[in-house]
């Protein structure tokens, strides 16, 4: 399969996974009432899942109250498709027994371990960015990568 065909295939898989997760969330599993989810109902903040910590010196390490709304949040809706964000479930959903995992979404089983880690961890990014990374890692052998890392660590420490 050439790169263009593989890109279309990954877009199709990505869109199917997003559709599945969107369908699950359309059932109001977050228990929204008056524009507040069950997790944030008794708090000042309305925005729960779509926030990230931003600190110039420490990056993602949370110290203080420097939370920013996701740049893709527009009119209380996400403007991009991101499986990593859609997989996120808060403590409120966990208490209801709801937790989404990559292994529970059949179409995502097409991806290798590294690609699954990318899908899970590459949050608040457009679909195109994620798919580009998935394409890069599609033929990479995890064992070769681990071997290279071990060799680098060995050379560094000994």
158 residues of the chain, pLDDT tens digit each: 788 999 999 999 999 999 999 999 889 888 888 878 888 887 776 666 777 656 555 555 555 566 677 788 777 777 889 999 899 888 889 999 999 999 999 999 999 888 998 999 888 889 999 999 999 888 776 667 777 778 888 787 76
Is the C-alpha dihedral spanning 135, 140, 142, 146 positive or negative? negative
Distance CA 55, CA 61 (A): 8
Reported as half-sphere exposure (CB side, CA atoms, 13 A), residue 2 has a value of: 1
Torsion on CA atoms 99, 100, 105, 108, rounded to nearest 10: -150
Question: What is the predicted pLDDT for the residue at 83?
Answer: 94
pTM of the predicted model as reported, rounded to 2 decimal places: 0.75
Helices within the chain (DSSP H only): 3-25, 83-87, 91-95, 113-121, 127-136, 142-157
Question: What is the predicted pLDDT for the residue at 119?
Answer: 94
Question: What is the predicted pLDDT for the residue at 57?
Answer: 57
Question: What is the predicted pLDDT for the residue at 1?
Answer: 77
Tokens of 42: 């008794």
Domain boundaries, the chain: 3-157
Neighbours of 35 (CB within 10 A): 8
Question: What is the predicted pLDDT for the residue at 74?
Answer: 78
Distance CA 49, CA 143 (A): 34
Instruction: Evaluate whether 105 touches 17 at the Cβ level (below 8 Å).
Output: yes
């Amino acid at each position: 399969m050439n790169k263009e065909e593989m890109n279309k295939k990954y877009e199709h898989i990505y869109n199917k996974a997003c559709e599945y997760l969107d369908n699950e969330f359309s059932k109001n599993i977050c228990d929204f009432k008056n524009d507040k989810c069950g997790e944030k109902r008794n708090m000042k903040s309305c925005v729960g899942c779509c926030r990230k910590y931003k600190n110039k010196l420490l990056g993602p390490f949370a110290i203080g109250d420097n939370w920013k709304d996701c740049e893709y949040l527009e009119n209380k809706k996400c403007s991009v498709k991101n499986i990593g964000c859609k997989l996120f479930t808060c403590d409120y959903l966990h208490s209801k027994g709801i937790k989404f995992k990559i292994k529970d979404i059949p179409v995502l089983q097409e991806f290798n371990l590294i690609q699954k880690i990318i899908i899970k961890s590459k949050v608040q990014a457009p679909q195109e960015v994620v798919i580009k990374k998935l394409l890069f890692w599609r033929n990479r052998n995890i064992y070769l990568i681990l071997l290279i890392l071990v060799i680098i660590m060995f050379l560094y420490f000994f």
